[in-house]
Amino acid sequence: MPRQPVSIKKAVIERANGRCEYCKSPADFSPQPFSIEHIHPVCAGGQSNLANLAYSCQGCNNHKYVKTEGFDSLHDVKTPLFHPRQDDWFTHFGWVNGGLEMVGLTATGRATIKELHLNRKNLLNFRSLLLLADLHPPVD
């Protein structure tokens, strides 16, 4: 991905409140760097503008790669993945087990959790530590 101008990067980070726009992990406490990712991939015609950029932890960015669709695990139908600029996070996702795990509330939520592995082991461990520090789950 081409480097984004500092002003664009700053705007994306501020808009995301310093959290991954998929798993909601805070960048300030993450052991890995975060990325500015293309929601709709450049290889599929996506643009490098604010409307198509999201703040993403490395794990979510790696699992998403160029995906824009996935399968809803409940109905086994192809569905669009969560789009941070067009979708409301709390419409598609919720927290269970005291905020430890994400649950999909819609087909889009379930497909996104599956494709981006939003309950992967290292992320659950990270959330456990954030819960102990009263830094999780986020309310925004």
Q: Write the pLDDT tens digit of every residue in 114-130.
A: 999 999 999 999 999 99
Tell me, what's the pLDDT at 140?
A: 77
Nearest to 26 by CA among 111, 104, 134: 134
- Mean pLDDT over 16-44 rounds to 96
pLDDT tens readout for residues 76-94: 899 999 999 999 999 999 9
- Residue 108 CA to residue 122 CA, distance in Å, equals 23
- Cβ contact 90:68 at 8 Å: no
- Residue 46 CA to residue 4 CA, distance in Å, equals 14
**Domain residue ranges of the chain, discontinuous segments joined by +:** 6-132
SS3 80: strand
Q: What is the pTM of this model?
A: 0.94
Angle ∠(38,39,45) on CA atoms, nearest 5? 70
Tell me, what's the pLDDT at 53?
A: 97
pLDDT over threshold 70, residue 57 = yes
